[in-house]
Amino acid sequence: MHIAIAVGLFYLNVKKRTFKKLHMYYPSIIYVILINSLYYFLFRKRLLWEMQSSNMGVSTLKKFHLFN
């Protein structure tokens, strides 16, 4: 489901040409990536939830979650 949402958002971004506004949202995107990384680093032994997928491993799913 997450992959479908990411692909759909990417399609809309290209179609409406909103990627030109990326520089305006760049600090917010970096902030979210850093906070997610910090969460995974600090609470790696005791996460609040564990993401599961039948198609991807847990480490791949975490990496995908960080950058999407």
pLDDT, tens digit, 9 for 90 and up, residues 18-54: 888 888 988 998 998 898 888 878 877 776 666 666 7
Give the per-residue pLDDT at 68: 56
The structure's pTM equals 0.53
8 pLDDT above the threshold of 80: yes
Locate the domains of the chain by residue range: 21-68
Euclidean distance between CA atoms 68 and 63, whole angstroms: 9
Give me 27's structure tokens: 């600090």
11 pLDDT above the threshold of 90: yes
Give the per-residue pLDDT at 43: 77
